[in-house]
Amino acid sequence: MARDIGIDLGTANVLINLSGKGIVLNEPSVVAVDTNTDKVVAVGTDAYEMVGRTPGNIRVIRPLKNGVIADFDITEEMLSYFIEKLNVKGFMSKPNILICAPTGITSIEQKAIIQAAEKSGGGQVYLDFEPKVAAVGAGLDIFKPQGNMVIDIGGGTTDIAILSMGEIVTSRSLQWAGDAMSRAIISYIKNEKNLLIGQRTAEQIKIQIGAAFKPDPDKSMTVRGRDIVDGLPKQITITAPEIQVALQDGLMSIVAATKEVLEQTPPELSADIIDRGIMLTGGGALLRNMDSLITYYLQVPVLTADDPLEAVALGTGILLQNIEQHTKKR
């Protein structure tokens, strides 16, 4: 018997949940390709190690952009590699696959995701939306007639949704999330400090000293990069308040979109959300004081999931147990 598979196909990371085993894979959504031969040379963690450090003939590709497939063939190869690695296919049967997508994607993009999963070795392929699956993974009972609100801040998209009776009532999907935070940090350091840094350095800055609200003025970090003026290697010190300034505009767009979703919500469900709070999931939920920022501007309690990075993948595992309730989206 093939085991059922839940896939959180993220812009930054792919997580796979295997029925009966839990989360068995968590690797970056990155593929390295030799441009001379068009052959894949590394996938996942091995490919991520090469980011910014490859010779001219090796191209490191992130096949997903803003939560959707930007390069179909590479996505298919990446999924096939990960599924092959798990060795889950039965002798005669193919596993059911539940795969997650942002709320804002088109039906064509939905088809592309389903097709990639089918081609990588799936049997029945089901598609569900990230905030719904994240809510289930964060422990919310979304199947009752009551309002639940989730903000899922991933790598490529921030998905904001109100759920009731197992369905999305209102939602918004923003293309400002973890990757955009890193780009904002790169841009700020280039403009304010005349220093060019890479994506991996920006990620480290975000993790070590990044804060969404009330940054610690004593937190700082030494950053190395290339001086824009003379082109030589240089190191500078950057502080947590400076990084908060770099992220400010984007963070306020998440606050504004959350406010918009709340304004479109039926009053009974709004009352539930004031009682129950908003649940934060996704890697962006780990940015310091993200919950405080939203509470401050919207006056609604905000909770962070116990394991925000794995919430979507955990949710796929729970939903796979009742997979027949899902409709196959073609």
Tokens of 226: 């290339």
Q: Is 12 annotated as a binding residue?
A: yes
Q: Is 322 annotated as a binding residue?
A: no
Tokens of 206: 């975000």
Q: How far apart are CA 103 and CA 283, in angstroms?
A: 17
Q: Are 280 and 300 in contact (CB under 8 A)?
A: no
If phi over 0 gives left and psi between -120 and 50 gives alpha, with beta otherwise, what is residue 320? alpha
Residue that has been written with the tokens 């009974």 in this structure: 268
Instruction: With CA atoms as reference, report the closest residue to 130 among 118, 144, 112, 113.
Output: 113
Q: Is 144 annotated as a binding residue?
A: no
Q: Is 285 annotated as a binding residue?
A: yes
Q: Is 122 annotated as a binding residue?
A: no
Q: Is 155 annotated as a binding residue?
A: yes
Q: Is 153 annotated as a binding residue?
A: no
Q: Is 283 annotated as a binding residue?
A: yes
Q: Is 85 annotated as a binding residue?
A: no
Q: Is 203 annotated as a binding residue?
A: yes
Q: Is 206 annotated as a binding residue?
A: yes
Q: Is 204 annotated as a binding residue?
A: yes
DSSP letters of 192-238? HH-EE--HHHHHHHHHHH-BSSS--TT-EEEEEEEETTT--EEEEEE
Q: Is 6 annotated as a binding residue?
A: no
Q: Is 147 annotated as a binding residue?
A: no
Q: How far apart are CA 67 and CA 219, in angstroms?
A: 32
Instruction: With CA atoms as reference, report the closest residue to 130 among 289, 298, 9, 279.
Output: 9
Binding positions for ATP = 11-13, 155-157, 203-206, 283-286
Binding-site residue set: 11-13, 155-157, 203-206, 283-286
